[in-house]
Amino acid sequence: MSKKIYGLFAVIIAVATVLSACGPAATPTPAASAGGQVEVFSWWVGPGEADGLAAMVKIFEAQYPNEKFVNAAVAGGAGTNAQAVLATRLAAGDPPDSWQAHAGMATFAYANAKQIQPLDDFYAKNNLNSVFPKSLLGLISIDGHPYSVPVNIHRSNVMWYNPKVLQAAGVTIPSGGFASWSDFFAACDKIKAAGKTCLSLGPEGFTAMHLWENVMIGTLGADKWSGLWTTPATTDWNGADVKQGLANFATALSYTNSDASTLSDWQPASKMVADGDAAFNIMGDWAYGYFANPAPNGLALKPHTDFDWTPTPGTQNIFVFLSDSFVLPVGNKNPQGTLDWLTVAASKAGQEAFNPLKGSICARTDCDQALFSEYSQNAAKDWASNAIVGSLTHEVVSNPAWKTQIDTDLKLFLASAHDAAAQATFQSALAADCKTKGAGACP
């Protein structure tokens, strides 16, 4: 694993330690399985998202025939709708038996709000401390106590493309990917001249922030991106690098489809590439599942022929990551059922069934690579060798309040003319967010 990852995790662990109000209790030992229903909450319901979950549920149902799995998934990529529904339920004291929580700041927020329980005994019983990478354990643990069970690692900095559209426009991607956003924009000019959308985009909700962070990382590089989120911030939100990143974002938007805000979710934007209406789409590798999985959920496309992939511009040798995990709530109705679900989610069999369909790689380090696509096998190699940085959109690097504020400012920018004045306003707002919602030590 890259050394660079440790800097990021050291900072996040330090933040988690500070946020933690008091030491956790050990994992409760519930009574022997009484059966009953296990309500699991996620946002894996759309095409390409549901297949992996279904595969894991199949294992759960075979292993625990006396438990009834209740799928409480709420549609909307990146949890845009699900998280609001979950927050309402948690506020009402009605938690599902388990829910999807991103490793990193999202999991820390649930732990610090005392909404989830530590899983020390569960980890010990299932030998999990040795099967997950230490770096990942740091992103779900507070003071060494694990609070969730990671099922996967997703890569968010992937640019999917239609090889036929590129060929028709005379665009060739340099080996290893576009070195910079300006190189990419030169390719976009050719695609545009050929009458196609260069970069397809979905509705605001999360796809614009997903694009924004990829432009920022590709402009700033791994270290400066991570420096935006450290305490104290080592990258100046008011500086020239961020300014250039925002200018690149404005230019990137100028190459996107004008109907982005009317699309229902990320899938229709990815489908524009599959259909040959757009050349490129930037999306996490859950899009692999959507492109390659069999119908009716997947598009059953052939890799390299119908679709292909490259790192987002400027991010060669950088792996922007996020990880989905599941939690044991405080006050849930069927704690044994939850532990049964977590047992499957943590297991080699569960992760080997889930991840090849989800487009992600295992959180565990011992999965059989032969079960995975060429794409995922390469992603696993990159995860082991690239500089690793965390995603903002998928809740690794910032606390939820900060992310919400950035999203508000991003929406204002999207509604603007995207010109130099709007970029300056956006940058000032981002710098102010860092001061008030961020590490509290921003320039």
What are the b/e assignments for 29-67, b being 16+ CB within 10 Å? ebeeeeeeebbbbbbbbbbbbbbbbebbbebbeeebeeb
For ligand GAL, which is the closer residue by CB, 43 or 122?
43
Binding residues for ligand GAL, total number by CB under 6 A? 13
Closer CB to ligand GAL, residue 382 or residue 395?
Answer: 395
Shortest separation between residue 166's beta carbon and ligand GAL, angstroms: 25
Binding residue for ligand GAL, selected from 324, 340, 352, 382, defined by CB under 6 A: 324
Nearer to ligand GAL, 184 or 290 (CB): 290
Strand pairing class (324-326; 67-71): unpaired
Cβ-Cβ contacts under 8 Å for 18 (sequence gap 6 or more) = none
Here's the x/- map for ligand GAL, 218-257, by CB under 6 A: it reads as: ----------------------------------------
Residue 331's closest CA among 113, 181, 109, 157? 113
Residue 324 or 340: the one with the smaller Cβ distance to ligand GAL is 324
Phi/psi at 387 (5° precision): -75, 130
What is the closest distance, in whole angstroms, from the C-beta atom of residue 149 to ligand GAL in the complex? 14
Helix (H), strand (E) at residue 429? helix 420-437
Residue 227: alpha-carbon gap to chain centroid? 19
Residue with tokens 């229903």: 37
Of 27-35, 71-79, 223-231, 408-416, the window that binds ligand GAL (rule: CB under 6 A) is 71-79
Beta carbon of residue 236, minimum distance to ligand GAL (angstroms, whole number): 28
Q: What is the DSSP letter of 256?
A: B
Site for ligand GAL in 382-441 (CB under 6 A): 394
**What x/- string results for residues 137 through 176 when contact with ligand GAL is judged by CB under 6 A?**
-----------------x----------------------
Percentage helix, strand, coil, to 5, in the chain? 50, 15, 40
Judged by CB under 6 A, which of 99, 132, 286, 383 binds ligand GAL?
286
Q: Shortest gap between Cβ of 82 and ligand GAL (angstroms)? A: 9
Task: Select from 22-30, 56-64, 73-81, 219-227 the region that touches ligand GAL (CB under 6 A).
Answer: 73-81
With binding defined as CB under 6 A, does residue 86 bind ligand GAL? no
Q: Any idea which residue has 């988690």 for tokens?
A: 16
| Contact status, residue 280 vs residue 161, Cβ threshold 8 Å | yes
The residue (of 161 and 286) whose beta carbon lies closer to ligand GAL is 286
Single residue of 43, 60, 110, 185 touching ligand GAL by CB under 6 A: 43
Nearest partner of 399 among 12, 137, 133, judged by Cα = 12
Residue 66 CA: distances (Å) to CA of 35, 230, 331, 338, 340: 5, 47, 21, 13, 11
Return residues touching ligand GAL (CB under 6 A): 43-44, 49, 77-79, 102, 154, 284, 286, 322, 324, 394
